[in-house]
Amino acid sequence: MKHYSALGLLRNALGRNRRWTPAWRSAGPKKSYDAVIVGGGGHGLATAYYLARDHGLRNVAVLEKGWIGGGNTGRNTCIVRSNYLWTEASLLYEKSLKLWEGLSRDLNFNVMFSQRGVYNLGHSLQDLRDIERRVNANRLNGIDAEVVGPAKIKKAIPCINTSPGARYPILGASLQRRGGVARHDAVAWGFARAADALGVDIIEQCEVTGIEVRAGRALGVATTRGAISSERIGVAVAGNAGVLAKMAGLRLPVESHPLQAFVSEPVRPVLNTVVMSGAVHGYISQSDKGELVVGAGIDAYNGYGQRGSFPVIEQAMQAVIELFPAFSRVRMLRLWGGIVDICPDACPIVSKTPVEGLYFNCGWGTGGFKATPGAGWVFAHTLACDRPHELNAPFSLERFSSGALIDEHGAAAVAH
Amino acid sequence: MSESAPPAGIAIRVRSARGFINLRLNPRNRQALEAAERVLGQQAPLSANTFTGGEHNLYWLGPDEWLIATGAQRASELARELAEALKDFHAAVNDVSGGNVELLVSGANASMVLAKGCPLDLHPRAFAPGQCAQTGLGRAAVLLAAVDPSTYAIVVRRSFARYLRRWLENADSAGVPFRAAGKRQQAGYRSSP
Amino acid sequence: MAAAQPNRLPRGGRIDRSRPLAFSFDGKALEGFAGDTLASALLAGGVSVLGRSFKLRRPRGIVGSGAEEPNAIMQIGEGATAQPNPPATQVPLHDGLTARSTRGWPGVRFDLGAVNGALGRMLGAGFYYKTFMWPRSWWKHYEHAIRKSAGFGRVPEGPDPDRYEHMNAHCDVLVAGGGPAGLMAALVAARSGARVILADEQNEFGGSLLASGARIDAAPASDWAAAAVVELRETQDCVLLPSSTVFGYHDHNFLTIAERCGPQGRGVRERLWRVRAKQVVLAQGSLERPLVFCNNDRPGVMLASAVSTYIQRYGVLPGRRAVVFTNNDSAYQAAINLAVAGAEVAAIVDSRAGGGGELAAGAQSLGIPVLKGHVVSDVAGRRRVAGARIARWEGRSWGTVKSTTRIDCDLVAVSGGWSPAVHLHSQAGGQLAWDPSKLCFLPAKARQANVSAGAGNGKWRLGECLADGLRAGVEALSEAGLKTAAVRAPDASADAEEKMIEPLWRVPAAKDADRCPMQFIDLQNDTTVADIRLAAREGYRNVEHVKRYTALGFGTDQGKLGNINGMAVLADTLGKPIADVGTTTFRPAYTPVSFGVCAGESTGPLYDPVRTSAIHEWHEAAGAPMETVGQWHRPWYFPQDGEDIQAAVARECLAVRNSLGVMDASTLGKIDARGPDALEFLERIYTHDVARMKVGRCAYGMMLGEDGMVMDDGVMARTAERGFYLTTTTGGAAAVLEWMEKWLQTEWPELEVYLTSLTDHYSTIAVAGPNSRKLLEKLGCDTPLDRERFAFMAMKPAVLAGMRVALFRVSFSGELAFEINIDSRHALDMWRTLMEAGKEFCITPYGTETMHVLRAEKGFIIAGQDTDGSVTPVDLGMKWLLSKEKDFLGKRSLERPDCLRDDRKQWVGLLAGDGRTVLPEGTQLVGDSGEAAPMCGHVTSSYFSACLGHPIALALVAGGRRRRGETIYAALPGRKPLPAQIVPPVFYDPKGKRQHV
Amino acid sequence: MLLIECPWCGPRAETEFSYGGEAGIFRPADPHALSDAEWADYLFYRSNPRGTHRELWNHAQGCRRWFGVERDTVSYRIKRTYCLSGASGGQPDGSAGGLEAGSGKRR
Ligand SMILES: Cc1cc2nc3c(=O)[nH]c(=O)nc-3n(C[C@H](O)[C@H](O)[C@H](O)COP(=O)(O)OP(=O)(O)OC[C@H]3O[C@@H](n4cnc5c(N)ncnc54)[C@H](O)[C@@H]3O)c2cc1C
Ligand SMILES: NC(=O)c1ccc[n+]([C@@H]2O[C@H](COP(=O)([O-])OP(=O)(O)OC[C@H]3O[C@@H](n4cnc5c(N)ncnc54)[C@H](O)[C@@H]3O)[C@@H](O)[C@H]2O)c1
Ligand SMILES: Cc1cc2nc3c(=O)[nH]c(=O)nc-3n(C[C@H](O)[C@H](O)[C@H](O)COP(=O)(O)O)c2cc1C
Ligand SMILES: [Zn+2]
């Protein structure tokens, strides 16, 4: 791997940029690996990176059916925060946020993590109670959080509509200043490049079509590029988790739904932070290039189509205009969808499975981008040690039988 | 663009003094059906999305559900008679007069104004007089019925009536893209430069 | 005095020279004519630099004449009605229009940011990811600087004063695109009696015919188009939508069209057509491709077809001395048009050794020199093309050219061939196939009910387009099951014989591809050939990676101009066929659409219905502030003479406790459940033993989800042996009914039960307080109301004050209380009657806040406030509500290990240690006063109790019930933890005597 | 936006309906006889297939009937819709709990 440095950039520029080498090798699959990660999204790539970096496991392959980052990692609205309600969840996300804070340096790849703050708006008295409760819990868990009133919100976000006459007036908000956004594609590329440098094989255009299980043990995978054996298989395929589970004869408490987002044309800077609202369902930020990036709600039905229904977009538009009446004349440039893996309690599964040597990282639903480094970190630990880290122990499959669900619906109704 | 719009010219009025009864029974139970029809003095529509007129309007709501619209004075008494006639059957008769408001929307452009917020195909071939449907209008759920080629009856839940009225007035005031005039559906409203 | 239009031709064009229009660009006064676009008027006025590129800030001029324009991104108008970002080519000119360029500081002509251009090599693809990381803490400063230069236009300054609306439409055949192919398809469909919608994004139908000298049926092609439009307009069930872009092709043949209504829009600025089409004919036409050579972004390098359009349609001559550069025949037409319009065509530079076909002969007969087997390898000039460097073409894209000669010119008209606009076909999920002879992707198998026609289907010649449109129309009709009228395709003037296009994806330069001057592929994002090569070198080889690494096709034109060239260059770089590289994914919007039109009329006052009770107007008149509960507005409290909320609520509470209060509880959900199996059904739904309820009795009922968590609650009454009246929470009403129906219809269809919503029919008035019985008695009630004959938790139909009601003796306040359910038509009357008669008892209306305080004093829960989806009835201390005799929904879940833990959070009362702090709701509780103690619960409800004279709170506390009497701590932000004592959750009248009197 | 054919009312826009998840999840006859794992399977585990999915929809703004839909979760194409009979709408059936199947069709 070529180290990126200011001098290197200059030297390369003078050399007409001809000396750059691939950020990650296009590796062919070997017959066997110590660990195979299925899914070349942020989570899979981060898992491989931490496996190699922290657990010394370098004979590792990441198998991606298309191009890395082409799943939800490449199609999300990039919101990063850790102000979840329950201690179990917020500690996991906070671990991730801490990793985000050093990630560009760790990876020697600028993932453009921008801590511009995240506002979660409240529009009813019950919203305010929930905000108060969550902010207090965050603070006691050592996570930065504050409650702000309409006047302060208006000051920080001049184009927002805080009029008390609005249909759903803004009564207050929680603010996490350390929250923000990151450049989605760069996260996949940065992890890939850093993992590759540690010897991980990143294998694109390689779809896993079967999982070999004998006597309750996972032995390898069948792929469109041949069979690969490995006794440690970590699956991080987000919306496709159910499909992979079926290959191993398992079912999961997860359902796949389309989730849509859209961007506007680039406009001059108007929105310096991230704004989310559960009641007026929408969330919005402005990218470094100037597009307004807006997330809509999920479509109610199961779907693997990476596209959704237009009425959901209409509702998100109405929500944005409620919050920002001046955005009405801004124009939508492009809209797309991703397949999100929804869990009954709006919390993820990072867990061993009934099949030995087979591990699943899924169920992040509409909010797993922010977890990318943290999820990779705990999943790597789980694979390497064959037991969860204490941070992900609560997120096992057992909770669905024991009843120890971690219900983040309230805090995560717009869980991005 | 600020010039105000010539309204579409529809008339919106509340049909006053209406009473409503919700009737549930399984039409396969002929005896029950006939008992109800005897009280009503008319047939209940069995075809989906239709209504019958007569002394009352009987709207098909579902395969075992009808809305009976009648005079306000008559409703509670009729409900009692129905309940009495059906007391030996599995049936439900509920006076819902207080829960509904009936609006009449009329005018040559009525269907176009409604189409702004209603996903149904309101073309006269698809939704002819005598047809009705429960559907959405704006953000309210309504029962929509084609009374004659330019008149629709809309039954809406009382708590949504204020909203719906406002929605209709707004839709009317924005005019229609082209006038429904005679045979021609439209007159080009944009002159070619 | 009229501003000069130096480039306006003396005649010709579809503009109305009798209607001059004044406009301004960057403050400069200019003039054009009705029928102009902003672009044509600017060109007429001699403006050549219109913008700066995004990254490198190079000066840019107009390249295209339609949706493909990447450079001329404008800011139109000012204030609240400003419009950011439309390309000048798509802005119809109107009088007084003000336009500004959107990039460049201080201005487009002299831009300080242009230093970026000098740093170009460092700013190559992926530059950001490699830098700005040192020192770590500086990133926020770097980011600040990066963000400052973001974006093109500015968001308007205030709320949008214009209106938008939706229109639902249904048709047999939707035709997208009104060029010759689309018009033909629409004609045959219309003549066959089908319901047709024809939409075209331009303000006039005719597509390419509007700028064409061709003839159809021996008349000018535009006359044919005009006649077709007249016929369609006269046909019943045919809807013509000009200025309307079909921007989205969604599932189940649902398409979205944005209509720009303009000044004739009768107050509506834009309208969203939501169309469900049986069949769709896609006749979007094709997009011309530019050629890729050094400095090909200089103002004055323009698409050949755009040159023709400006001359033919707008009467504007975009240059005086032109070089036409092509690899196919179509550009010869531009050369001819230029020459006929009076420009000098210095040369047609044709990469093909054999040159052009019949059109070439025509050009030559006009004296235009044709350089066969040559290319333009570079242009001179910065703010405007000054000359073209011509080199011999050896057929090798990646070599270098030996020597060049310069031809002076101020216009280079380029054509690299045509790409069918397959956008909608692809959005609909259709496949594409690379055609190696036509050098373009053609629509292949469609996934939905659509068929492509015309240039959008790879038919370049007019005659073919007309015939193809007819074919597509006929196919669509037969797929829709409709009869087809006999229609023949008109004759097009003999289309010229053409020679085949030959590949020319990149023009070699004097130096190799990494060292030569920049060769642009995506003009808006400054993506160059070198960038694509760099991306490939760095391993970003998938076309989607290249897109994301170089921003190819990311701009407002979505790669209409550059994508295919980019893919071809990538294919070359990787040594793969273009077909294997493939395209990126096509997505809505075809061209950008405003948020406003997508939102339609459902904004502002129509954003979401406000549901109000039948008594609402009284509350409003009383000046009650409203609380939003679900969609409802409910009176929150009733302030008197300047009272604040605390004072009002204290007064209201005391009034209820001491005498008489009245509340509008109409928003509760109400359901009539009836049938032989109603009892059995409700046994399964509710946790308590419903069978024990006698007719005329009420009970508090609770429903759990199958996961055992509290879902909803309310009072239910048995109205008959087989009939029940159920109430739900305000917010839960609709969901609960739907959920009950789901169980009934899908799981237990054998149960004979009918559920009917009575939420709106009945209004509910709660009369509470020691004097409530006296009040009702005073009004005259046909039923005795005394304690014996109308016991607590009884229900009776009655006539009260002459009105028919259902009376419930239930209490959510703990006081003697009645709930009057009355036909909503009479609710306001009843309310007024109560208020009048209650004067002697100082009757006091109270709102939701007082209701909450009163119930909290009594330890009654509010589902959704004291519960949050993780709370079981056991946690609430309501085990008594769970039947031991029967199964009910959610019961099994309560036996899971986690639900049996005795350290679960349990609902308790809490008294602040200082006796005066009202603990904020949402306060977290900790076990001891240490700073970092783990949380053991939180405050769910908290009020100052005027009747008790101190604050009270309710909380969920881990193992709370066994910890009664213990002290825990409220972790108040910025303060020392405040001790609080755990107490039972009932603060007032724990024996419940008052409600029984 | 999907176009869903209500077995009673005919084809209607998706916005008139609400979704009810996978069809054919039967409520166990005796929940208390189930192990925690089996109960969890009934409660939370779903087949979530990529391809044909049998699911429940409710014509919420229309006739309020729940019915079955067979839909492809990739193409979103609806293969058919059907009235329900048995528990959880598992079995497609015309009888619809004693109601006349398709009596809801347009005249
Ligand atoms: C529109 C949208 C907005 C969102 N907004 C946010 C947000 O603001 N903040 C936030 O935190 N989260 C957000 N999310 C959620 C977030 O994107 C995801 O939770 C997260 O990116 C998941 O990462 P992943 O690596 O697990 O999955 P993915 O990035 O989806 O990676 C999974 C990979 O597995 C591959 N794969 C699938 N099947 C196979 C197979 N058989 N063989 C090999 N490979 C396979 C896929 O091709 C894919 O590349 C959003 C999601 C969407 C769709
Ligand atoms: N000589 C050549 O090589 C060559 C190449 C291509 C085309 N042509 C000529 O171009 C013409 C092609 O005819 P045609 O009818 O196929 O196309 P056209 O270009 O004449 O018309 C297409 C129309 O569709 C509109 N349109 C595109 N996308 C739209 C959308 N999403 N929504 C609404 N409107 C949209 C365009 O604005 C245009 O008016 C013929 O005359 C043909 O000879 C010639
Ligand atoms: C945060 C973010 C910003 C984006 N900005 C743009 C943009 O400026 N221009 C653009 O064309 N697409 C933009 N996209 C959308 C992508 O082009 C693409 O639609 C998305 O990654 C989904 O991939 P697909 O459409 O190829 O399936 C953006 C996507 C994300 C997640
Ligand atoms: Zn229906």
Write out residues 284-323 of A within 8 Å (CB-CB) of D: 300-305, 309-311
% of chain C beyond a pLDDT of 70: 97
Domain total in chain B: 2
Three-class SS string for chain A? CCCCCHHHHHHHHHCCCCCCCCCCCCCCCCCECCEEEECCCHHHHHHHHHHHHHHCCCCEEEECCCCCCCCHHHHCCCEECCCCCCHHHHHHHHHHHHHHHHHHHHHCCCCCCECCCEEEEECCHHHHHHHHHHHHHHHHCCCCCEEECHHHHHHHCCCCCCCCCCCCCCCEEEEECCCEECCHHHHHHHHHHHHHHCCCEEECCCCEEEEEEECCEEEEEEECCEEEECCCEEECCHHHHHHHHHHCCCCECCEEEEEEEEEECCECCCCCCEEEECCCCEEEEECCCCCEEEEEEECCCCCCCCCCCHHHHHHHHHHHHHHCHHHHHCEEEEEEEEEEEECCCCCCEEEECCCECEEEEECCHHHCCCCHHHHHHHHHHHHHHCCCCCCCHHHCCCHHHHCCCCCCHHHHCCCC
Choose between D64 and A28: higher pLDDT: D64
Per residue in C281-336, pLDDT (tens digit) is 999 999 999 999 999 999 999 999 999 999 999 999 999 999 999 999 999 999 99
Q: Say yes or no to pLDDT of C263 above 80.
A: no
Grade residue C145 by pLDDT with cuts at 50, 70 and 90: confident
| Domain at D3-83: CATH architecture | 2-Layer Sandwich (3.30)
Query: Which residues on A lie below 8 Å from D43 (Cβ)?
Result: 344, 400
* Cβ contact, residue pair D66, C741, below 8 Å: yes
- Angle between helix A372-385 and A184-197 (nearest 10): 30
Predicted local confidence at residue A12, as pLDDT: 84
Grade residue A410 by pLDDT with cuts at 50, 70 and 90: low
What domains are there in chain C, each with its CATH number?
163-286+420-479 (3.50.50.60), 290-414 (3.50.50.60), 503-581 (1.10.10.1100), 616-666+763-844 (3.30.1360.120), 669-757 (3.30.70.1400), 855-882+892-996 (2.40.30.110)
Average pLDDT in chain C: 95
Name which of B92, B77, B93, B69 is nearest B19 in CA terms: B69
Choose between C778 and C131: higher pLDDT: C778
Closest ligand 1 atom to A74 CA: 29
In a domain, B119, yes or no: yes
Grade residue A176 by pLDDT with cuts at 50, 70 and 90: very high
Grade residue A10 by pLDDT with cuts at 50, 70 and 90: confident
Q: Decide if D34 contacts D27 (C-beta within 8 A).
A: no
Predicted local confidence at residue B180, as pLDDT: 56
C174 pocket-lining for ligand 2 (C-beta < 6 Å) = no
Give the residue from chain D lying closest to C275, CA to CA.
D1
Using the Cβ of D88 and the Cβ atoms of chain C, whether some distance falls under 8 Å is answered with yes
Q: How many CB atoms within 10 Å of residue C393?
A: 25
Q: How many CB atoms within 10 Å of residue C217?
A: 14
My answer on whether B65 and B26 are in the same domain is yes
Predicted local confidence at residue C140, as pLDDT: 81
Q: How far is the CA of B135 from the centre of ligand 4 (A)?
A: 9
Q: How far apart are CA A156 and CA A150, in angstroms?
A: 10
Q: Say yes or no to pLDDT of B4 above 50.
A: no
Predicted local confidence at residue A228, as pLDDT: 98
Per residue in C804-835, pLDDT (tens digit) is 999 999 999 999 999 999 999 999 999 999 99
My answer on whether B104 and B63 are in the same domain is no
- Angle between helix C543-550 and C563-574 (nearest 10): 120
**Is this complex's ipTM strictly greater than 0.90?**
yes
**Where do the structural domains in chain D lie, given as residue ranges?**
3-83
Q: How far apart are CA C142 and CA C138, in angstroms?
A: 6
* Cβ contact, residue pair A124, C971, below 8 Å: no
* Cβ contact, residue pair C252, D3, below 8 Å: yes
Grade residue D106 by pLDDT with cuts at 50, 70 and 90: very low
Choose between A278 and C623: higher pLDDT: C623
In a domain, B163, yes or no: yes
Determine the average pLDDT of the residues in C259-274: 84
Residue that the structure tokens 């009976």 belong to: B68
In a domain, B139, yes or no: yes
Domain boundary at B53, B78, B98, which?
A: B98
Q: Give, using CA atoms, the residue closest to atom 12 of ligand 3.
A: C554
- Pocket of ligand 3, candidates A79, A271, A283, A291: which has the most ligand atoms within 8 Å of its Cβ, to mutate? A291
% of chain C beyond a pLDDT of 90: 91
Q: The domain that contains B140 carries what CATH number? A: 3.30.1360.120
Query: Which residues on D lie below 8 Å from B63 (Cβ)?
Result: 8, 63, 65, 96, 99-100, 103-104
Residue that the structure tokens 């004449």 belong to: C65
Grade residue B186 by pLDDT with cuts at 50, 70 and 90: very low
Q: How far is the CA of D77 from the centre of ligand 4 (A)?
A: 19
Q: The domain that contains B76 carries what CATH number? A: 3.30.70.1520
Q: Say yes or no to pLDDT of D23 above 60.
A: yes
Q: How far apart are CA A155 and CA C101, in angstroms?
A: 30
In a domain, B47, yes or no: yes
Query: Which residues on B lie below 8 Å from C16 (Cβ)?
Result: 193
Q: Specify the 3-state DSSP secondary structure of B73.
A: helix
Using the Cβ of D63 and the Cβ atoms of chain C, whether some distance falls under 8 Å is answered with no
Residues in Cβ contact with C570 at an 8 Å cutoff, skipping those fewer than 6 apart? C532, C536, C541, C543, C546, C581
Q: Give, using CA atoms, the residue closest to atom 32 of ligand 1.
A: A237
Structure tokens at C162: 């214009």
Q: Say yes or no to pLDDT of C21 above 70.
A: yes
Write out residues 5-24 of A within 8 Å (CB-CB) of C: 5-6, 8-10, 13-14, 16-18, 20-24
Which of the ligands is closest to the CA of residue A375? 1
Using the Cβ of D31 and the Cβ atoms of chain C, whether some distance falls under 8 Å is answered with yes
% of chain A beyond a pLDDT of 70: 98
Q: Decide if C8 contacts C30 (C-beta within 8 A).
A: no
Give residue B66's domain range: 17-98
Chains in contact with C, where contact means 3 or more Cβ–Cβ distances below 8 Å, are A, B, D
Sheet containing strand C411-415, strands side by side: C301-303, C411-415, C321-326, C344-350, C370-372
Give, as one character, the DSSP assignment of residue C291. -
Q: Give, using CA atoms, the residue closest to atom 8 of ligand 3.
A: C554
Domain boundary at B98, B121, B150, which?
A: B98
Q: How far apart are CA C739 and CA C654, in angstroms?
A: 39
* Cβ contact, residue pair D103, B120, below 8 Å: no
Residues in Cβ contact with A286 at an 8 Å cutoff, skipping those fewer than 6 apart? A267, A269, A270, A271, A272, A292, A293, C150
Name which of D54, D52, D55, D57 is nearest D4 in CA terms: D57
My answer on whether B104 and B124 are in the same domain is yes
Query: Which residues on A lie below 8 Å from D73 (Cβ)?
Result: 256, 302-305
Full-model pTM: 0.96
A112 pocket-lining for ligand 3 (C-beta < 6 Å) = no
My answer on whether B119 and B145 are in the same domain is yes
